[in-house]
Structure 1
């Protein structure tokens, strides 16, 4: 774990973060603290003891590959992370504008922040935003429950079979089901490891240094939610299926 001071227009607090986070996971942690949407973040990371900048990114810049390790977390130095919201119309910037004239920021504990009546977190809770959207969370929970049942009842016994993978409306891709189970990442639920006949995936069967299947050729593996996998019938398996791949980014494929 590494101790990090997180600063934004609305909050300054201390957290302990795992050293093994990916960039995507790091941004997600910052979002839950600052309220700044990941796609709007401009981030500067500095060492606390000498204030030297060791990492920075502009919107849409250095995060082109969010599956890379956040290597700046791997040292033992305490860090300062400054998060700027590049979206002038965002909720956090509007709240910051309303807060002009309020005395300068102070370091508060997470417990004290949770008790505050006026904060980004309280605003989200009051307006049902993000993880406080009950309908959205209920829908996600229902999908997760369906995924678990489908994986347990049908997919686990189908490892090694040909399948069709469809993620977020992208064109179906033919693959072979290689793995069903959890991932060594900060993500919940069951995932399916699939091997594509060509480089239509995102990895080689390894995640966070752990081999879950293969390894296969680079770019021939991916991990998707069970609902994205359809096991082919014997007739379909024997038929030649054209594999078409659209490069569509989705949180349901790793």
Structure 2
């Protein structure tokens, strides 16, 4: 019987941090799931560098690669324990954070600090803005996909079709489709249904606009994904058998 093997790599890596800013180095352990942008945030605090820093990966004295793609994961680079990440920042003088005027620097007012373009606050705000934009774009793309699917399903339905409506946390309802298409009360495609029983919310009109006719509480609007068209006879039809 053959044996199966899996490749297991450590989830964290211990690296030596050097920089053009400080004469000393430090050793830190990082998760490989960190993005380079998040790693830079940590290095800002560790070295005093600004958001314009560049990173180089060394093994001993040998340069392995540059690490300046902010969206890449640390683990996507060939990092190993005891390798060196060298931080370069031409905006900060060597030894600036080792001089004796640290106390004076920390007396900087909020207004003066805000005027500095390459500060930690600006870097963090920009990073948060980028993450928010990425999240919003992903949500918009996902909503666009859902809207397209709803439109395609709505195209398979027509007025007069018998249907079953199934909404999460609600009992199944039977009815007849009376409206298919967009509405004024909410974006996207909707299906107007006249229910067999008074289990709806309206009489076929919403916010003063009428889409179809029925008795009050017999009408309702649902997304196409909640509607199944098929053979769903009314109760009086069943009584004929």
> What is the TM-score when the length of structure 1 is the normalising length?
0.39
Question: Greater CA radius of gyration, 1 or 2?
Answer: 2
